[in-house]
Structure 1
Amino acid sequence: MIKLGTVFSGIGAVEHALDRLGIPYEIEFACDNGERKLKTSYEEIAIATKGMNNAEKNAYMARLYDKESGVNYVEQSYKANYKISDDRFYQDVKLLDGNEYRNKIDLFVGGSPCQSFSVMGKREGLEEARGTLFYEYARLVKEIRPKVFIYENVTGMLNHDGGHTWEVISNIFNTLGYVWKYWVLNAKDFGLPQNRRRIFVVGFRKDLSAFFENLTDPVKIKLTQDMTAFLDHDIPNKYYLPEKGFKRVIDPNQIKHVALNGKIARCQVACQQYNWFGDMRFETEIPQRLEDDPRVYKGEYKGQRGVARCLTPRECLRLMGFADTFKIVVPDTQMYRQVGNSIAVNVMMEVVKRINLTGVFKPDNNSGSKRLQIATIFSGIGAAEFALKRLGIEHDIVFACDNGEIDLLKPIDEIAEELKKIPTLEERKAYVKSLIPPKRANAVKKSYLANYDIDEEHYYHDVRFLEGSEYKGKVDIFVGGSPCQSFTLLGYQKGLEEARGTLFYEFARLVKEIEPKVFIYENVQGLLKHDKGRTWEVVQRVFNSLGYKLHTKVLDAVNYGIPQKRRRVFVVGFKNGGENFTFPQEKELRFKMQDFLLENAAEGHVKAVDKQIVIEPGGQEVPDKYFLSDRILPGIMCEGTGGFSMKPEIDLEIARPLMSTMHKMHRAGEDNYVTTKGRIRRLAPRECLRLMGFTDDFKIAVADTPMYKQAGNSVVVDVLMGIIEEILKCMEV
């Protein structure tokens, strides 16, 4: 859990970056005065607040700002989007005493307005910057002593005041007890179609300089979308321009101030969209509501009749990398200013990733027990990861991999040949990443990142191009399954080559390259008899060739606390030891499928307490969309004929195996249906997740159809919990 402190906090670019990366953090403090100015001098304030602590000074400043300057709109936006107590959001950086947070902050982030430094000479100390807001930032670094700081500013700082500004800043950073470097980064190089160059200074406290040596430069990515991909199509009338605004934005003499229908946005600024300044759009398709609105001017531009409009605040937020989950709670004018003053989230994500990859934020190995290191492929929605969460086992996810059933843009053989020509691992990874279809969202990845602590750098798309040697000796438990495929090579080669071309080969290859302490392999029970038993023969021979002590058993979810008949084969391999491993003992079933239904357990009522599922009383109304219509009900309840005959059964106490295709609604003899208030319905995604052992703290981040598929493809969490507990009894982590 990263302890975060920010000043000049704005709308929380680093907080949003951490949210998008799925990296846990806790906000220790934030600070922003919302661009308000005071009439009372700071000399008077210093006298009035002498002897006060941070909380007392902040209460004093809040009253003073409210009296002399009014509302802090930045504070409103920040508190609407991030968890922070009122007494930890400070109103004025000049009154913040960093000593209160000394050695309590992992990451300290901020920028400051670019000001000239009036004191001459090279004192190489803070006094040279006194009176500037950069002084306040540097002072707080010195007082707080965070593990890492990030300082952001405009690139003009490098040449500001004839270079003297940067000279002073560099000298001051050198005196603070940090090793540091800086990058000049442009938002358009990190997935955002906006030309926004900024300087980022990253400093590591000198006692952590070993981690600083691992700090690698940000990796640029090819821009795959232009501005139009970030725009909405149904825009409220108020964003369309009157005659004066229309004529201004189409005026070629305004090119310095206005960009019309650009592909890459200009750098957003605080005054954007004000007096029709910045990026604008000209549209030739005019809906009737605009035709009927006399406030909206319809004119000609380049021979076409149309209307012109500003960007909406939501569109501006997207161009800065803020997801649509960011709540807009302030007037448009304020939101435009806050967006223009912010840091591009995608760039901040890359900077944070580079820092996080150094390991500087991981707990000290000497401070307690070592955390379990887990890696998964065919990761799905993270059954193993969720099992560790329910078990309360501290762990790090080394990597995960799932393509979400989305193929790369080039044939596999062609990619493999091209990779042979690329010399470095980073370049090979970047090449494979560039082949992921940009317009197809990986719904599996979206679910995974919404629920687990992993940065996207270590979420891989295609297992065939994941190089296990990068993680050799770094994984405690390696988990995965693979689609069941026949093996075409003849003979008994007793090695990996016999499985080449199958996805099982990729699992086995990675075991050989990574050399995890333990692996767990899961598959359908049919694997044992697949291809007349030959598939299982090859699987066994390949596993035997890897040098692991193997244990194999078919386990059924119904015997491990989940009311679902779901039999799967599990192979557990130990690199060393494991002779005493036994699969978990079966336990009594405490639940029926009905216990997990929404009408009996409302959303949020299925929880995990001390490893066990606990259901709080109280149900909810089931949304109408899950009930079967009169049109399809006869087909669902049909017994069928001949070889397709099956007796319809509903309201089972123990569910049939959940399928990845259950969103298509099979007949009642194959799929699970229940009766609610006399009407027949299918299971809701939340109920399917519960029947796979995912308690309600699992976040549903995708639509129903992909969620059904992901639940049906998953491994039952409770079964993995039992296996992992038995594994840990036999291994040292």
Structure 2
Amino acid sequence: MKNYYSLSEVAEMLSVSKQTLRRWDENGKLKATRMPNSYRAYSPESLMPYVDVDSPPSVKETTPDYNVPLKSYSVLELFAGAGGLALGLEKAGLSCKLLNEIDPWACKTLRKNRPHWNVIEGDVAKQSFKEYKGKIDIVTGGFPCQAFSYAGKKRGLDDARGTLFYEFARTVKEVKPLICVGENVRGLLSHNNGKTLQSMIQILEDLGYDVLVPKVLKAVFYKVPQKRERLFLIGIKKGSGIKFNYPKPDNKMMTLASALKAGELYKTDVPKSPGQQYPARKREIMDMVPPGGYWRNLPIKVQKEYMLKSYYLGGGKTGMARRISWDEPCLTLTTSPAQKQTERCHPDETRPFQTREYARIQTFPDNWKFEGSMNQVYKQIGNAVPVNLAYAVGKELVKSLNEYTISEELRTKLKS
């Protein structure tokens, strides 16, 4: 433990300015010690009621589990889909106040499982969220990536008009949350040579948010048995002093077996459910592929029959005629388990994954029911954020808001 902390260090710990600390020292609300060089310093004893001096600048933990919310933190989510992100955030202790989604079947799914959630069905462009200004802690949204650029005009938010990112940014502008969380595919990093993402960052900065360096999180390191990657774009309201750290990855990877068999993730084997089936000839071909194999494991003659012109184009195409093995994570799920380019075949049975198997690979609980036809269910699950990945991010959001809450209470106490 240090003997003394400088004015700058304490300002960082308490998320206040050095000028505020000088004023508190002068009026006796938080006294500093004058050092021989006349600089202000703070003894550990003077700070112990407020911060953890063993590991500054973290605010002292006041609960057995630091990720347990100190109060109710609210979330407004756009493009909510079937609820993967919302469910993970709820699991972390956050409160979903409003969810907007245009797909009627996904809305039915949300209402079926969470009748108390305020689900607003319809085009986000036709919704106003001004009534929630100052009442929401976090705005989230997995906005689809649509191209736009400044084209040299530098008009800020106006440049994004007509895109779904515009609706996300407009909502942030209307609601003024403490934190905004955008989520997207990894490809956004390189879209238009990175200019699209930079435009998004600049727009959020212009709206009053400090944007963290975007980060791709690999779901497989967050208790998700799937090689899925999602890009997170997180903005912190300027002047709030909130700090956010991306969740640390777990070194242990989940496998397909952990999704479909009783074990660490689920107490029981996956229940039976509806699922697509292969046509007769495709089933004959997939019967030849071993677990963990793909089209190159087929006889040359069958490779040419199955791949057609793609056979001569080179490249790995490892998703084609792919049978997943028990001891590996599943490849990224799509909206259909039997598309030729993104085949997802069961390890033992020659068939695509069933809908409940799909849901488990996305770490939905077995009691989360999906509404609509079988194909609608596949679509909802395939488009979802894995629940456990959302949970990992949610815990860090709670931690950040807990620190903010403690700092706010401390500032209020010192000002009174």
User: Which of 591, 612, 615 does residue 266 from structure 2 map onto?
Assistant: 615
What corresponds to 2:351 in structure 1?
681
What corresponds to 1:671 in structure 2?
343
What does 1:318-337 align with in structure 2 at a 5 Å threshold?
A: none
User: 1-side partners of 2:70 and 2:265: how far apart?
Assistant: 29
Change (3 A) 1:696 1:389: farther
Q: Is the 8 A contact 1:658 1:671 kept in 2?
A: no
Give 1:453 shift.
Answer: 4.0
User: 1-side partners of 2:184 and 2:276: how far apart?
Assistant: 30
Amino acid of the structure 1 residue aligned with 2:100: C
- Give the match's secondary structure for 2:245: coil
TM-score by length of 2: 0.68
Change (3 A) 1:643 1:619: same
Amino acid of the structure 1 residue aligned with 2:396: E
User: Which of 231, 252, 257 does residue 589 from structure 1 map onto?
Assistant: 252
What corresponds to 2:211 in structure 1?
550
What corresponds to 1:473 in structure 2?
134
User: Which of 358, 366, 374 does residue 696 from structure 1 map onto?
Assistant: 366
- Give the match's secondary structure for 1:651: coil
Q: Is the 8 A contact 1:549 1:577 kept in 2?
A: no
TM-score by length of 1: 0.39
Give 1:464 shift.
Answer: 0.3
What corresponds to 1:729 in structure 2?
399
2:81 is aligned with 1:380: yes
2:291 is aligned with 1:632: no
- Give the match's secondary structure for 2:331: coil
Change (3 A) 1:634 1:487: farther
Structure number, greater radius of gyration? 1
Give 1:590 shift.
Answer: 5.1
User: Which of 616, 634, 649 does residue 322 from structure 2 map onto?
Assistant: 649
What does 1:198-597 align with in structure 2 at a 5 Å threshold?
A: 370-391=71-92, 393=93, 395=95, 397-404=96-103, 442-454=104-116, 458-487=119-148, 490-493=151-154, 495-551=156-212, 552-575=214-237, 576-577=239-240, 580-589=243-252, 591-597=254-260
Give 1:400 shift.
Answer: 1.1
What does 1:125-204 align with in structure 2 at a 5 Å threshold?
A: none
Amino acid of the structure 2 residue aligned with 1:559: F
1:614-636 per-position Cα deviation (integer Å, ceiling 9, x unaligned): 4224566x568544342333576
Amino acid of the structure 2 residue aligned with 1:462: D
User: 2-side partners of 1:623 and 1:548: how far apart?
Assistant: 45
User: 2-side partners of 1:460 and 1:475: how far apart?
Assistant: 19
User: 2-side partners of 1:701 and 1:572: how far apart?
Assistant: 31
Aligned length: 308
- Give the match's secondary structure for 2:177: coil
1:194-215 per-position Cα deviation (integer Å, ceiling 9, x unaligned): xxxxxxxxxxxxxxxxxxxxxx
User: Which of 705, 710, 722 does residue 375 from structure 2 map onto?
Assistant: 705
User: 1-side partners of 2:270 and 2:361: how far apart?
Assistant: 17
- Give the match's secondary structure for 2:232: strand
User: 1-side partners of 2:116 and 2:366: how far apart?
Assistant: 20
What corresponds to 1:83 in structure 2?
none
What does 1:93-104 align with in structure 2 at a 5 Å threshold?
A: none
1:124-144 per-position Cα deviation (integer Å, ceiling 9, x unaligned): xxxxxxxxxxxxxxxxxxxxx
- Give the match's secondary structure for 1:521: strand
User: 1-side partners of 2:285 and 2:359: how far apart?
Assistant: 26
Amino acid of the structure 2 residue aligned with 1:630: A
User: 1-side partners of 2:274 and 2:377: how far apart?
Assistant: 18
User: 2-side partners of 1:577 and 1:593: how far apart?
Assistant: 42
- Give the match's secondary structure for 2:370: coil
Amino acid of the structure 2 residue aligned with 1:591: M
Give 1:381 shift.
Answer: 1.3
Amino acid of the structure 2 residue aligned with 1:588: N
1:81-127 per-position Cα deviation (integer Å, ceiling 9, x unaligned): xxxxxxxxxxxxxxxxxxxxxxxxxxxxxxxxxxxxxxxxxxxxxxx
- Give the match's secondary structure for 1:615: coil
Change (3 A) 1:626 1:549: same
Once the two structures are aligned, what percentage of the paired residues are identical? 29
User: 1-side partners of 2:216 and 2:152: how far apart?
Assistant: 27
Give 1:724 shift.
Answer: 1.7
1:477-497 per-position Cα deviation (integer Å, ceiling 9, x unaligned): 111021111116521415101
Change (3 A) 1:394 1:730: closer
1:148-183 per-position Cα deviation (integer Å, ceiling 9, x unaligned): xxxxxxxxxxxxxxxxxxxxxxxxxxxxxxxxxxxx
Amino acid of the structure 1 residue aligned with 2:363: G
